[in-house]
Amino acid sequence: MLRSPEGCPWDREQTHKSLRQHLLEEAYEVIETIDEEHYDKLPEELGDLLLQIIFHAQMAAENNRFNIGTVLDHINEKLVRRHPHVFGTEVVETAAEQVVLWERTKINKEGKKSAIDGIPKLLPALIRAYRMQNKAATVGFDWGSIEPVWDKVSEETQELKEACKDGKQEEIEGELGDLLFSIVNLARFLKINPEDALRKTISKFERRFRLVEEDFKNRGESIHDATLAEMDKVWDRVKAAEHKTRE
């Protein structure tokens, strides 16, 4: 209806490419709703995301490429194919074993050429590094314990310090990337998603910084005129108040 001649002009003008950003935004809104535990809003946000999927399927159907039924068929076939322990004779006892089986199925039955295939290049870098390390681990390319991971973080930190002394920007960038990659690996061993952890820290910083600004404003002062020491004092007070509230 919306795409028909009697429908919405905006809807009629859309293409798969023009809707890419909307699909991404709706996915992030779902994530934000989950992070903030606003589960009463989750049905609405999931609906917005589903609308994007239906929109793409409708445009494809108009061009005789596929329809929403084709999408659902692919989901069903993939779930059956990748769960031979449920729909077949494979035996899987743990979630970790299932991850290995899942990746093996992709290579043996879906034509993947590498264990690290299938990771979208446009993923945020932290998520992409995390997923790549996880996939490499499924074929045994991984440390056996967390101790060498800590050593690697220390090693990369030292190499970054040495690069900074040399002052070569390209080397500094490379070493910083290596350090970030090793920290992502540490997060894996700690069973923490680094993207989630960083997002929570950013939210915490945002909340505290706004409270610092509000503190100066309430006293009739401007944060622009404050020294770093004065701002740090308020920051520590805001931080202490948060800790006290949790107790």
- Which tokens is 148 given? 């060498």
Backbone phi, psi, residue 219, to 5°: -95, 10
Rounded distance between C-alpha atoms, residue 48 and residue 12, angstroms: 18
Instruction: Identify whether residues 88 and 115 lie together within a single domain.
Output: yes
Rounded distance between C-alpha atoms, residue 183 and residue 161, angstroms: 16
Instruction: Name the DSSP letter for residue 123.
Output: S
Tens of pLDDT, residue by residue, the chain (247 residues): 778 888 888 888 899 999 999 999 999 999 999 988 999 999 999 999 999 999 999 999 999 999 999 999 999 998 888 888 888 888 878 887 787 777 777 776 677 788 888 888 888 999 999 999 999 998 889 999 999 999 999 999 999 999 999 999 999 999 999 999 999 999 999 999 999 999 999 999 999 999 999 999 999 999 999 999 999 999 999 999 988 877 6
Q: Which residues contact 188 (CB under 8 A, 6 or more apart)?
A: 130, 133, 134, 137
Report CA Rg, the chain.
24
Instruction: Identify whether residues 152 and 106 lie together within a single domain.
Output: no
- Which tokens is 215 given? 């503190």
- Which tokens is 34 given? 């989950």
Number of compact structural domains in the chain: 4
Instruction: Name the DSSP letter for residue 17.
Output: T
Residue that is written with structure tokens 């950003």 in the block: 21
Instruction: Identify whether residues 99 and 135 lie together within a single domain.
Output: yes
**What predicted TM-score, i.e. pTM, was given to this entire model?**
0.71
- Which tokens is 134 given? 């996880």
Range of the domain at 128: 82-139
